[in-house]
Structure 1
Amino acid sequence: MSEVTNIKLKYGNDYHTVSVPTKNIMDIIIPEDLPGVPDQMEEVRRALREPIESEPLSVLAKGKENVVILCSDITRPSPSYLLVPPILEELNTAGVTDDKITVVFGLGYHRPHTEEEKKKLIGEEVYRRVKCIDHDRNNCVYLGQSSRGTPIWVFEPVAKTDLIIGTANLEFHYKAGYSGGDKALMPGVCSKETIQANHVMMIRPGTMPGKADGNPMREDIEEIGRIAGVKFIVNPVLNSNKEIVKCVAGHPVKAHREGCKYIDMMYKRSIPEKADIVICCPGGHPKDINLYQAQKGFENASYAVKDGGIIILFAKCGEMLGEKTFEDWMFRATSVDDPVNWIQEEFVLGAHKAVVICLVLQKKKAYLISDIPDDITRKCFFEPAKSVEEALEKALAKMGPEAKILVMPYANSTLPFVEE
């Protein structure tokens, strides 16, 4: 009997112990949170006092008659209520009064906010002090084209302002490398046409989480930000408890890259080579509430497995697929190539997750252990299995008894990479 290593993996709200042959384990990789700062608003003030590759905001804002602060919408964990008050202090110091300042919530493709939601996002006091409005995709001004051919349509109040300040928390983005930086403007406050043209780049080489430079989607976003005139950013880095561990401010690209180093420190993990088999667990509820959410860990795992290799996804998915458009595309597809082809004809939000899954499945095989019925699992191009051990037995039969196995117990927040 060969020796096994028992590993605890979270499935919904429960833990399951899975047994993996010890001799095959290449590594078990987990993220490591940095501690939150003692005073979060003071950390934002410190970042504003020490801007990266930029003049201080109080200098940039001198003489400005119309200033816009871009903030994330309700679907993002960005703590705008901590970021905006210190920004207002800087603007007031520069002589910009509250009546010359507008907070614009970047909705991208999402629904408008209620007034209560705006208050919650920004804080009651700021909501009373300055004008707070939602971006409107249908009220945009044309500013030209990016070098990659993206038509640039920006929300009119943003396009016609003297100074644009972008805010958002930093985290991995499934295709644009990272959130934050110029993403506050694109897709935040752009038209549907602009967002679609940029998002179609998701199928191009170099678009992936944890990669900013040399990523066509991110580079297009930053060119659009430059053309539209984003001058200054304030981006906090949050740990998994949503506490600020570091805040960066200043130049939209240089400050952004500095902040990304802290994301990498917590969530990027170096591996010596790609594995034959990756056991991937999103990390339990709510990360595995449905396949739409669990996809994030599945994609992260794909960067650790060889082409022709196997991913074993252990995700409860009690709410099944979790998103109507995603489900429609998966059920309609007759092969993994279909969604990848369809998205090039028209970018559809929600369907993009079907595309990301299918891009992985074009090159790797996958087993899914979940609450999703077997016939639906197969419709999504996964092979169903009753347990991780059953899937592993089949995977080892395919990949050989010496196959190297990597385990990712918190795959949604762990990004593996092979050092070049």
Structure 2
Amino acid sequence: MKVELGYGDGFKSLWIPEDMQADIMRAGSCPKMEGKEGRKPVEEALLCPIGTGRLRDLAKGRHNIVIITSDITRPMPTWAVMPDILAELKQAGVKPSEITLVFALGSHRGHTKEEKVHLAGEAVSREIRCIDMDPNDFVHMGQTAHGTPVDVTRAVAEADFCICLGNIEYHWFAGYSGGAKAVMPGVSTREAIQINHSLLTDEEAVVGNADSPVRRDLEEAALYCPIDFILNVILDEHKNIIHAVAGHYILAHREGCRLLDEIYGREIDEEADIVVVSQGGRPKDLNLYQMQKALDNARHAVKKGGIIILTGEAGEGLGEPVFEEWMVNAGSPGEILERIRREFRLGGHKAAGFALTMEKAEIFLVSSLEDEFVRSIFMKPYHELQDAFDAAVISKGRGARVLVMPYGGSTLPILRKERRG
């Protein structure tokens, strides 16, 4: 059986012998949503918002509208949805000069001019102002019960109408992406993000839980920095929009989560000896910081003592300085877990995610990183997927059970007995 896994802008090929027990985890069948008269998902969602009126009605009389969208590390196709958003705003009488598109960086790097144009689309980037959030210019708007400061970039804080865009997929401690995450952590300070993310140590902060304490906290932040409307999309394995929800930042988001579960929550009968996983290529495999999400989903599918083959180019290395410092300076994965319990730091939480997986399974990393460096962060280095797989088969034997997750950041393995319980 031949399988191709996304790697950077291309693929890595894998041949699995026909006599091995191997399954490929793909999304469930779900036709592209189209409404009456063949309307596309975004058009249909904007026509039938959940929990609010239409955007064209809500935005009437507003003169400082901000649209928050994802940065370059996310697959959100901003360029594909902005024309419909702008059409609604024009129907409300809003002028292009009254609209700002803000790229939510969170704790990530800023964009180049070319990246901004790519994300927004050339026509949109010419028509309205498109900016990165300013990490040094924030407004304090309140504080959540958990103590998270609602410190929001000024362009968003001073707007009189806020629209949040995003794609919904599984998130390893916020339950799901999308919704109010555009504000927290999207356009918040690093300190605020760190305090919110410290809730990841709570036992309920797990993938697929929409009531995660992390999400409850970030949705409370939206009470201080109001979100007037959201448009969230669900993508297929090729990053095409197959579903969209619009309207209230909680009600519409939860409907999107339900749809995501139908497509990407995949039951398995038992855990595998070898799990081969990829984020699906760019932009999700730019660095190890982003690849951790696919790794965490794979952790739910691998047997204790098994092997996970994590595949991604990681052309930008680890991708975050604190994450790198925690990984490079640790003496063992256990040391990282001890450190996160006594000293929570944003960036360190990703190192803890790797360490948590390493407690359960060995990680073979197929990437562009130097071999010696990969060994120093407790993983076995490979540059070809086939080489890594062949080594895993030698270790576990031809009778090993294999699971391939070509889009590991999107598909969530669920043990059948767990769902029934």
- TM-score bracket, normalised by the shorter chain, equals 0.7 to 0.9
Give the AA of the match of 1:243: N
Q: Bigger shift: 33-42 or 236-245?
A: 33-42
Q: Deviations over 1:241-263 (max 9, x none)?
A: 22111111001011112222333
1:294 deviates by 4.8
1:369–1:388 Cα contact (<8 Å) kept: no
Shift of 1:392: 4.5
Equivalent residues in 2 for 1:216-295 (5 A)?
216-272=213-269, 274-275=270-271, 277-282=273-278, 294-295=291-292
Aligned ranges for residues 10-159 of structure 1 at < 5 Å? 10=5, 13-19=11-17, 25=21, 28-32=24-28, 34=30, 42-159=40-157
8 Å CA contact 1:7–1:20 kept in 2: the answer is no
Aligned residues: 403
SS of structure 1 residue aligned to 2:228: strand
User: Relative to 1, partners in 2 of residues 1:47 and 1:341: Cα closer, same or farther, differing over 3 Å?
Assistant: same
* Structure 2 match to 1:181: 179
Q: Of the two, which has the highest radius of gyration?
A: 1
| Amino acid in the other structure paired with 2:277 | C
Please state how far the C-alpha of 1:389 moved relative to its aligned partner: 5.3
Tell whether the 8 Å contact from 2:308 to 2:363 is kept in structure 1 after alignment.
yes
Quick check: 2:298–2:308 contact (8 Å CA) kept in 1? no
Conservation of the 8 A alpha-carbon contact between 2:289 and 2:350: yes
1:35 to partner: Cα distance? 5.4
Gapped runs of 5+ residues in structure 2? Answer: none
TM-score, normalised by the number of residues in structure 2: 0.81
Q: Offset of 1:150 from its aligned partner?
A: 0.9
Residue in 2 that maps onto 1:302 = 299
Structure 2 residue identity aligned to 1:227: Y
- Mean Cα displacement is larger for which, 221-230 or 312-321? 312-321
Task: Identify unmatched segments of 5+ residues in structure 1.
Answer: 1-5
Contact 1:68 1:165 in 2 (8 A): yes
Structure 1 365/229 Cα, relative in aligned 2: closer, same or farther at 3 Å? same
Moved more, 9-18 or 228-237: 9-18
Aligned residue number for residue 351 of structure 2: 354
**d(CA) in 2 for partners of 1:110 and 1:268?**
28
State the Cα distance separating 1:26 from its structure 2 match. Answer: 8.7
Identity of aligned residues (%): 38
Deviations 1:385-414 (A, max 9, x none): 9654553554479xxx8xx83512425243
Q: Which residue of 2 aligns with 1:391?
A: 392
Report deviation, 1:90.
2.4
Query: 8 Å contact 2:142–2:150 — kept in the other structure?
Result: yes
Task: Provide the rounded CA distance (Å) in 1 between the counterparts of 2:101 and 2:252.
Answer: 21
Amino acid across the alignment from 2:278: P
CA gap 1:370/1:80 in 2 versus in 1, 3 angstroms: closer
Q: Distance in 1 between matches of 2:279 and 2:70?
A: 25
Closer, same or farther in 2 for the Cα pair 1:288/1:389, shift >3 Å?
farther
Report the equivalent of 1:3: none
- Structure 1 residues 57, 323: closer, same or farther in 2, change over 3 A? closer
Q: Which moved more, 1:180-189 or 1:156-165?
A: 156-165
Deviation readout 1:106-146 (Å, 9 max, x if unpaired): 22223333444433332344334433332112211112211
> Where do residues 294-373 of structure 1 align in structure 2 (5 Å cutoff)?
294-305=291-302, 308-313=304-309, 315=311, 322-323=318-319, 325=321, 326-343=323-340, 345=343, 347-349=345-347, 351-362=348-359, 364-368=360-364, 370=366
> Shift of the alpha carbon at 1:238?
1.7
8 Å contact kept, 2:246–2:252: yes
Is the 1:106–1:135 contact (alpha carbons within 8 Å) kept by the matching residues of 2? yes
| Structure 1 residues 364-405: Cα deviation after superposition (integer angstroms, max 9, x where no partner) | 1315264777765553334679654553554479xxx8xx83
TM-score norm. by structure 1 comes to: 0.81
Write the distance in 1 (CA, Å) between the matches of 2:381 and 2:116: 43
The root-mean-square deviation of aligned C-alpha atoms, in Å, is 3.6
- Shift of residue 192, structure 1, vs aligned partner: 1.6
